[in-house]
Structure 1
Amino acid sequence: MTTATFDELLKVGGSADVTGWDFSWLDGRATEERPPWGYARLLGGRLARLAAVPGTASLDIQTGGGEVLAEAPAFPAAAVATESWPPNVAAATGRLHPRGVVVVADPDEPPLPFADGAFDLVTSRHPATIHWTEIARVLRPGGSYFAQHVGPASAFELIEFFLGPKPVERRGRHHDDEADAARAAGLDVVDLRTARTRIEIHDVAAVVYLLRKVIWWVPDFTVERYRDRLRELHDLIHRDGPFVTYSARHLIEARKPD
């Protein structure tokens, strides 16, 4: 357990760089189980197979800082990624341009800035929003959307600690609802897997970092506004050990009919 004081931990979490979608800053402060399927490995295999086919194209939506996409061993000749947050656009550009991936600044609102049927493969890891009609539009016939999404009630033990009970919101992003939306957009859901993973948070600096980075968890979060609740959480961790919450993930593949 850390010997840092409450105020020191607030300062550490409040000054950490939250650019990109790399959570390695949390090493030693929080842990999260990974889903069993290994999304980055599966994604890399699909992109490598596509790279072996001339004239193919891929699109990664909401790529963050490009951390996961950059793990792929190879890319098709036309590989594109989109991102909306300017610091992430810069990070992704630096990481992906040397690999031949074009990064496009996009507001994550319809329409996607691409022609109909432009891509053989559309991917995303943990998109904040999923515009199924646009995904279906930019896929070529026979193309696939392959993604790992955040599922329902993810980190809600932490979210509700700050905001109180959210029974309606707990249903949001349910895998069955998303599969239905994909079908409504004209896609065939060919794979859907789910997992519930354990998260342990070891100090309040990690909480501050997470709520600054994953801004939709507690949308009005500032250290000053929630100082009293942060203090309660600090005391709880000090007394009982790590704060435990759970995250849902689902792997989904949806194919556009030929």
Structure 2
Amino acid sequence: MDKHFLDLVHGVKQDFTGWDFTSMTGTGRIDSGLLSWSYGSLAIPLVRSASTLLDMGTGGGEILSMLGPLPDQVYATESYAPNVPVARQRLEPLGVKVIQIELGQDSDLPFADKQFDLILNKHEIYCPAEMSRIITDDGIFLTQQSGGQDCRELNEYFGVPLNEEFSGWNLDRAVEGLRANGFDIVMGKEEFIPQRFYDIGSLIYYLNATPWQVPGFEKNLYLEKLYEIHRIIGDKGYFETTQHRFIIKARLA
């Protein structure tokens, strides 16, 4: 194994908080194809007209903080404990109440019936029945999701199967669940786009930040596979995977 490979492997920051990939995407170390929609562009006019807003799975509050001006009543949830203080530091000065929830608590959220007229959700698990309970009549639910086939090439390469529970998660399944709980679908789109990693350090960074992709990932356990990918990058210039994304805008009927 060459020194350049080992330097990249051991130079990766292990801790990851918030949901900010700027150090990778901003420098071009990770890049992906373009979707035919923009989550932010869809969210902004909805935020402008909302009076009560919930942002589910806010991460470190990066996206929500850029959608202002925000309504007077805004809540954000986050289940990954290291993200909570990051989100609070960023969002509380903006008037947002950040609530830590337990992983898997999506079907029992600590909110009143019909509390929100807008719910935003980017890449966060949700329970359709709970969305129906806490959203107002005629309220809007906007969600962008990572589909169950997201970056499946990584799982194939590392010999780790996709999560059986979520491998069938797609637009049709999500639409079916929402319609069964009283929502009309205003918009729904699903796309598969390329994602490229231009050095092995960026791939390790990504796998550290997305522990559900390759559960139990430790760079030292997969050193040989990582070196094989490093050599692919050396030959082709990149290692390519496929992102699976879909978006739904739904209104409670």
Could you state the TM-score of these two structures normalised by the residue count of structure 2?
0.91
Is the alpha carbon distance of 1:93 and 1:164 closer, same or farther for their aligned partners in structure 2, counting shifts above 3 Å? closer
* Matching of residue 72 in structure 1 with residue 67 in structure 2: yes
Question: Where does the alignment leave 5 or more consecutive residues of structure 2 unmatched?
Answer: none
Aligned to 1:100: 95
Is the alpha carbon distance of 1:185 and 1:11 closer, same or farther for their aligned partners in structure 2, counting shifts above 3 Å? same
**Cα distance in 1 for residues equivalent to 2:96 and 2:121:** 15
Letter in 1 for 2:33: E
Aligned to 1:11: 10
Task: Assess if the C-alpha contact under 8 Å between 2:208 and 2:217 holds in 1.
Answer: yes
Measure how far apart 1:183 and its partner are. Answer: 1.4
Q: 1:245 aligns with which of 233, 241, 244?
A: 241
Task: Assess if the C-alpha contact under 8 Å between 1:153 and 1:169 holds in 2.
Answer: no
Is the alpha carbon distance of 1:163 and 1:119 closer, same or farther for their aligned partners in structure 2, counting shifts above 3 Å? same
Aligned to 1:145: 141
SS of structure 2 residue aligned to 1:86: coil
SS of structure 1 residue aligned to 2:11: helix
Aligned to 2:229: 233
Q: 1:212 aligns with which of 208, 212, 232?
A: 208
SS of structure 1 residue aligned to 2:241: strand
Matching of residues 70-219 of structure 1 within 5 Å: 70-108=65-103, 109=105, 110-127=107-124, 129-163=125-159, 166=162, 171-219=167-215
Is the alpha carbon distance of 1:170 and 1:88 closer, same or farther for their aligned partners in structure 2, counting shifts above 3 Å? closer
Is the alpha carbon distance of 1:99 and 1:170 closer, same or farther for their aligned partners in structure 2, counting shifts above 3 Å? closer
List per-residue Cα deviations over 1:58-116 (Å, max 9, x = no partner): 10111111111111121111110000112211111111111111111111413000011
Aligned to 1:223: 219
List per-residue Cα deviations over 1:139-184 (Å, max 9, x = no partner): 1111111111112411111222112565967842111011111112
Q: List structure 1 segments (4+ residues) > 4 angstroms apart after TM superposition.
A: 164-171
Q: 1:21 aligns with which of 19, 22, 28?
A: 19
SS of structure 2 residue aligned to 1:107: coil
RMSD over aligned Cα, in angstroms? Answer: 1.9
Is the alpha carbon distance of 1:172 and 1:72 closer, same or farther for their aligned partners in structure 2, counting shifts above 3 Å? same
SS of structure 1 residue aligned to 2:61: coil
**Cα distance in 2 for residues equivalent to 1:144 and 1:118:** 12
Letter in 1 for 2:110: P
Q: Percent identity?
A: 33
List per-residue Cα deviations over 1:193-243 (Å, max 9, x = no partner): 122221111111111111110010001101121111111111121122201
